[in-house]
Amino acid sequence: MKRILWGGATAASQYEGGFYDGKGLDTQDCRRWVPRLSTDTVQTRLLTEADVQRAKNSFPDDCSFPFRMGSRGYEYWESDLHNIMSLGLDIYRLSISWSRLFPTGFEEQPNPEGVAYYDRIIRALVNAKIKVFVTINHYAIPIAIIDRYGGWRHRDVIDLYLKMAKFVVNRWRDDVDYWLPINEINSGYFSPYNGLGIIGSDDRNYDYESVFNGLHYQMVASALITKYGHETGVRGKFVCMVSCFNYYALHPRPEDNLKLVHDEQINQWWCADVLATGEYGYYAEKFLNDHGVVLDVTDKDREALMSHTCDIVSFSYYSSSICSVDEKREQVPGNLVATLRNPSLETTEWGWQIDPIGLRIAAHKFFDRYRKPVMVAENGLGARDNVDSDGRIRDDYRISYFERHMAQAELAAREGVDIEAYFVWGIIDIVSAGSCEMEKRYGVIYVDADNEGRGTYRRLPKDSFYWYRDFIASHR
Active site residues: 184, 378
The whole-angstrom separation of Cα 204 and Cα 337 is 15
Query: Measured between alpha carbons, how far is 449 from 429 in angstroms, rounded to an integer?
Result: 9
The answer to whether the Cα torsion of 290, 293, 299, 302 is positive or negative is negative
SS (H, E, C) 264-326: HHHHHHHHHHHHHHCCCCCCHHHHHHHCCCCCCCCHHHHHHHHHCCCCEEEEECCCCEEECCC
Helix axes 270-277, 356-370, angle to 10 degrees: 40
Tell me the C-alpha distance between 238 and 225, whole Å: 9
Strands 331-332 and 339-340: antiparallel
Find, among 101, 237, 100, the residue nearest to 176 by Cα: 237
* Distance of alpha carbon 174 from alpha carbon 468, whole angstroms: 29
- Among 282, 311, 160, 145, smallest CA distance to 223 is for 311
Q: How far is CA 361 from CA 255, 304, 336, 356, 469, in A?
A: 22, 31, 20, 9, 26
400 near 354, Cβ under 8 Å? no
Write out the H or E segment, with its range, that includes residue 446. Answer: strand 445-447
DSSP 245-269: --EEESSSSHHHHHHHHHHHIIIII
> Would you say the C-alpha torsion 416, 418, 420, 426 has a positive or negative sign?
negative
SS3 category, 238: strand
Q: Count the neighbouring beta carbons within 10 Å of the beta carbon of residue 304.
A: 19
